[in-house]
Structure 1
Amino acid sequence: MTDEDALTIDDEIVARARIHAREVLASHDLEIDRDALEWDVSTRARRRAGACRWDADREAATIVLTRAAYRRYDWETFAGVVRHELVHAWEFQRFGESGHGPRFRERAAELEAPRHCESFSDPRYVLRCRDDDCNWEARRHRASKPVKAPDRYRCGACGGAYEVEHAASGRTWTTASEFGGVKSALGAEW
């Protein structure tokens, strides 16, 4: 893909999102100052399909949409991401803060926006509880501290020990030294 192609895709994403936002705002009682609403596209995000950043000094919200999610989702799913981020923009502009609490849930329901957006990429690592009676599992895209040293952390549900799986290879580890061993063994496949 050339830089020119990327610009065209990013322009398409922003144009479609702005059109959809204009339609949503026209048909719902969601007062957003569109002059204080900016748009951007992320090429780096791996988990989140969108984000809304608030610049309190300028009182401007920036909705950042992810190119990879745009490619992976159908339009209706991606439009849900746009509506989700519009609710954040509305909260920031109106209250100076935003979250996923009751106020957000109420407005998101009115706009038929998902409370959380489904993942558009497969995780690189999967953490699983080793206790036979526990089904706890967590997915990670980056080698965080719990991924690198699982023996220092505990299961999110029962408090038991867990193991980490490198999703692409199926290799697992339960300690920091095993993490290093798997990483070294996989080499370029890591």
Structure 2
Amino acid sequence: MTDEALTIDDEILARARIHAREVVDEHGLELDLDAIEWAVSGRARRRAGLCRWDADREVATIVLARRAYERYEWAEFAAVVRHELVHAWEFQRFGESGHGERFQELAARLEAPRRCRSFAEPRYVLRCRGDDCDWRATRHRASEPVRTPGRYRCGDCGGALEVEHVDSGRTWNAASGYGGAKAALGEDW
């Protein structure tokens, strides 16, 4: 890891901890900040944050994505921190967390979104090959439908699927096409 990455990670953690204290104080939130651990992920591509619960230790770990911090303005990233604080609060109070009614009520009070805007461009686009169907989905990783689209059908019309590698524009509709595109692109994959 570079010194620059460490500096950015330190900044993320410091700002997130300060914001968490402000949220707790401002809203009178009964949240034990000492029972929250903080981490930064340099690998996350889709998820701006997550909250894990270690029931044995009764500790929540909030993991924040460096890429999201780099792409969002602070106000949007601070909202991610508040979203994860709601999860931490639920874990501390109830031992579980989700995005249900209880979550939504506190999230609304803290002005935390239920979902966060994507901060990374998708690597793959799946499309229906049906003539009159506009169904499409994006993927960041080579999931099973990306690797073997011939085994799957469109959920809207039942048509066959095609996958596009966004950076290269290469497309395939079978496992052999995936392997061929990957081999042809080599380091550009």
User: TM-score scaled by structure 2?
Assistant: 0.94
Distance (Å, rounded) in 2 between the aligned partners of 1:170 and 1:36: 47
Residue 162 of structure 1 aligns to which amino acid in structure 2? L
Partner in structure 1 of residue 34 of structure 2: 35
> Deviations for 1:91-112, whole angstroms, at most 9, x for unmatched residues?
1111111111121112111111
Partner in structure 1 of residue 79 of structure 2: 80
Q: Which runs of 4+ in 1 moved over 6 A?
A: none
Alignment of 1:1-190 (within 5 A): 3-190=2-189
Quote how far apart the aligned CAs of 1:160 are.
Answer: 2.5
Distance (Å, rounded) in 2 between the aligned partners of 1:131 and 1:61: 46
Root-mean-square deviation over aligned CA pairs: 1.4
What is the percentage of aligned positions where both structures have the same residue? 73
Residue 142 of structure 2 aligns to which amino acid in structure 1? A
> Deviations for 1:12-50, whole angstroms, at most 9, x for unmatched residues?
101100111111111214311111111111111111111
Tell me, which stretches of 5 or more residues in structure 2 are unaligned?
none
Distance (Å, rounded) in 2 between the aligned partners of 1:135 and 1:29: 47
Q: What number of residue pairs does the alignment pair up?
A: 189
Distance (Å, rounded) in 1 between the aligned partners of 2:167 and 2:3: 32
Residue 52 of structure 2 aligns to which amino acid in structure 1? R
Residue 61 of structure 1 aligns to which amino acid in structure 2? A
Of residues 135-144 and 15-24 in structure 1, the stretch that sits farther from structure 2 once superposed is: 135-144
> Deviations for 1:66-112, whole angstroms, at most 9, x for unmatched residues?
11111111101101110110111111111111111121112111111
